[in-house]
Structure 1
Amino acid sequence: MKKRAAALLAGVMMLSIPLGVSAAEKKAAPKSIDYVALGDSLAAGQTPYKTLDTGYTDFIVKHLRNADYKVDYRNFGVSGYTSIHLMGDVLMNETVRNEIREASHVTIDIGANDLLYKLKTDPANAAQAVVTVSNNLQTILSEIDRLNSDVDVFVMGYYNAFPYYPQAEQARLMPLLEGLNNQIELRAKMNGDSYVPTFDKIGRNYPAYLPNPMDIHLSKEGYKVIANQFFSQIKIQLILDVINRR
Structure 2
Amino acid sequence: MKRSIVGCLLCLSLFGTQAVYASGLHYTAIGDSLAAGQTPNREIGTGYADMIAMAIQPEVYSKELAVPGYTVDQVIKQVESDAGKRVIRSADLITISAGANDLLPLIQNDPSRGILTFNAITTAFALNGIREDYAVLLDKVEELNPDANVYVMGYYFPYPHVFDQHKPAVLEQLNMLNSIIKQEAGSAGAVFVPVADRFGTDAVDYLPNPGDVHPGPAGYLEMANAFLDVYATGSPEIPKSVLDQLPEPVTLAELREAAATKQEVQLEPAEEEVVVIEGCTKEEITEGRLKS
Instruction: Report the TM-score when normalising by structure 2.
Output: 0.66
CA distance in 2, matches of 1:225, 1:147: 30
Name the structure where helix makes up a greater proportion of residues.
1
Show the counterpart of 1:12.
none
Give 1:1-246 correspondences, 5 Å limit: 31-65=23-57, 69-90=58-79, 92-119=80-107, 123=119, 124-203=121-200, 206-235=203-232
Instruction: Report the TM-score when normalising by structure 1.
Output: 0.78
1:166-225 deviation line (CA, Å, top 9, x unaligned): 233222211111111000000000011100001010228613211112211101111011
- C-alpha contact (below 8 Å) 1:61/1:73 kept by paired residues: no
Tell me how many residue pairs correspond in the alignment.
208
Higher relative contact order, structure no. (Cα contacts within 8 Å, ≥ 6 residues apart): 2
- C-alpha contact (below 8 Å) 1:36/1:74 kept by paired residues: yes
SS of residue matched to 1:138: helix
Instruction: Report the identity percentage.
Output: 34
Shift of 1:63: 0.2
CA distance in 1, matches of 2:195, 2:22: 28
Q: State the superposition RMSD in angstroms.
A: 2.4
CA distance in 2, matches of 1:71, 1:102: 10
- C-alpha contact (below 8 Å) 2:152/2:192 kept by paired residues: yes
1:21-57 deviation line (CA, Å, top 9, x unaligned): xxxxx9xx86111111111111111111111111111
CA distance in 2, matches of 1:219, 1:205: 14
CA distance in 1, matches of 2:102, 2:193: 19
Name the structure where strand makes up a greater proportion of residues.
2
Structure 1: tracts of 5 or more residues without a match: 1-19, 21-25, 239-246
Structure 2: tracts of 5 or more residues without a match: 1-17, 109-116, 236-292
